[in-house]
Structure 1
Amino acid sequence: MKLLVLSGRVPRTPFKLMYRVYKYVLPEVRRELHRLRSLAESIPDPELRTQALASMASKQFHCEGGAVYAAANIEQRHILIPLIVALQTISDYLDNLCDRSTSLDPDDFRLLHQSMLDAVNPDAPLRDYYAHREERLDEGYLHELVRTCQGCVSRLPGYRHARPFVTELVTLYSDLQVYKHIRKDLREPRLLAWWNEHRSSYAHLQWNEFAAATGSTLGMFMLFLAAADENLSEGEARFIRDAYFPHVCSLHILLDYLIDQEEDRIGGDLNFCNYYNDQVTLIERIGEIVQHAREDVRRLPAWRFHRMIIEGLLALYLSDPKVRQQADVRRISKRLMRNSPLTRLFFWGNSVWIRKQQT
Structure 2
Amino acid sequence: MNDQELSRKAPRSPIGLMSRVYRFILPEVSAELGKWRRDAEQIPDDELRSQALASIDTKRFHCQGGAVYAAANLPEKHILIPLIVAYQTISDYLDNLCDRSTSLDPKDFRQLHQSMLDAVTPDKALEDYYAYRSEKEDGGYLTRLVMTCREAISQLQGYEAARPYIMDLASLYTDLQVHKHIHPEQREAALLEWWSIHAHRTPHLRWNEFAAATGSTLGVFMLFLAASDPFLDDQDASSIHAAYFPNVCSLHIMLDYLIDQDEDRIGGDLNFCNYYDDAEAMLSRLTSIVEWARKDVAAIPSAGFHRMIIEGLLALYLSDPKVSEQQLVRSVSKRLMKRSPMTRIFFLVNSRWIRRHKND
Q: Please give the residue correspondences for 1:98-113 in structure 2 after superposition, counting only pairs within 5 Å.
A: 98-113=98-113
What CA distance in whole angstroms lies between the structure 1 residues aligned with 2:115 and 2:259?
Answer: 28
The AA in structure 2 aligned to 1:67 is A
Letter in 1 for 2:103: S
- 1:218 maps to 218
Kindly report which structure 2 residues correspond to 1:1-359, keeping only aligned pairs within 5 A, or say none.
9-358=9-358
Query: Shift of residue 7 of structure 1?
Result: 11
Output the amino acid matched with 2:10. V
Task: Please give the per-residue CA displacement for 1:65-109, whole angstroms capped at 9, x wherever unaligned.
Answer: 000000000000000000000000000000000000000000000
1:173 and 1:60 map into 2 onto residues whose CA distance is 20
Structure 2: distance between partners of 1:228 and 1:202: 28
Contact 1:7 1:302 in 2 (8 A): no
Q: Is the 8 A contact 1:115 1:146 kept in 2?
A: yes
Change in Cα spacing, 1:241 to 1:183, as seen in structure 2 (3 Å) is: same
CA contact (8 A) 1:6 1:226 kept: no
- In the alignment, the residues of structure 2 paired with residue 79 and residue 194 of structure 1 have an alpha-carbon distance, to the nearest angstrom, of 35
Distance in 2 (CA, whole Å) between partners of 1:90 and 1:55 is 9
CA distance in 2, matches of 1:131, 1:65: 32
Between the two structures, name the one with larger relative contact order (CA 8 Å, sep ≥ 6): 1
Q: Which stretches of structure 1, 4 residues or longer, exceed 2 Å deviation after superposition?
A: 5-8
Shift of 1:128: 1.0
Q: SS of 1:43's equivalent? A: coil
Cα distance in structure 2, aligned partners of 1:227 and 1:358: 30
Please tell me whether the aligned partners of residues 273 and 282 of structure 1 are also in contact (alpha carbons under 8 angstroms): yes
Spell out, residue by residue over 1:220-277, the C-alpha distance to the aligned partner (whole angstroms, 9 max, x if none): 0000000000000011101100000000000000000000000000000000000000
CA contact (8 A) 1:80 1:225 kept: yes
Residue type of the alignment partner of 2:218: L
* Other structure's SS at 1:200 match: helix
Closer, same or farther: CA 16–52 of 1 in aligned 2, 3 Å: same
Question: Within 2, Cα distance between the matches of 1:6 and 1:98?
Answer: 43
Determine the C-alpha separation between the residues in 2 that align with 1:118 and 1:254. Answer: 27
Query: Percent identity of the aligned residues?
Result: 64
Cα distance in 2 for partners of 1:22, 1:178 equals: 36
Relative to 1, partners in 2 of residues 1:151 and 1:134: Cα closer, same or farther, differing over 3 Å?
same
Does the CA-based 8 Å contact 2:7-2:74 persist in structure 1? no
Distance change (3 Å), C-alpha of 1:119 and 1:6: farther
What is the one-letter code of the residue matched to 1:10? A
**2: distance between equivalents of 1:23 and 1:314?**
22
Query: Does the 8 Å contact 1:7/1:301 carry over to 2?
Result: no
In structure 1, what residue type is equivalent to 2:328? D
What secondary structure sits across from 1:358 in the alignment?
coil
State the alpha-carbon separation in 1 of the partners of residues 7 and 67 from structure 2.
18
Distance 2:69 2:338 in 1: 27
Structural RMSD (CA): 1.3
Question: In the alignment, is the contact (CA less than 8 A) between 2:7 and 2:73 conserved in 1?
Answer: no
Q: How many residues align?
A: 356
Structure 1: distance between partners of 2:263 and 2:80: 31
Q: Distance in 2 between matches of 1:179 and 1:101?
A: 14
Shift of residue 201, structure 1, vs aligned partner: 2.0
Q: Cα 1:7–1:288, aligned 2, differ >3 Å: closer, same or farther?
A: farther
**Structure 1 residue 6, shift from structure 2 partner:** 12
Return the letter of the residue paired with 2:112.
L
Q: Deviations over 1:192-220 (max 9, x none)?
A: 00010011221111000000000000000
| Corresponding residue SS for 2:181 | coil
Contact 2:45 / 2:137 at 8 angstroms: preserved in 1? yes
User: How many angstroms apart in 1 are the aligned matches of 2:76 and 2:8?
Assistant: 14
Partners of 1:250 and 1:100 in 2: CA distance: 24
TM-score of the two chains, using structure 1 as the length reference = 0.98
Distance 1:152 1:6 in 2: 23
Alignment deviations for residues 16-54 of structure 1 (CA, whole Å, 9 cap, x no partner):
000000000000000000000000000010000000000
Asked if the contact 1:6/1:301 (under 8 Å) is kept, the reply is: no
1:131 positional shift:
0.7
- Structure 1 pair 6/126, CA: closer, same or farther in 2 (3 Å)? farther
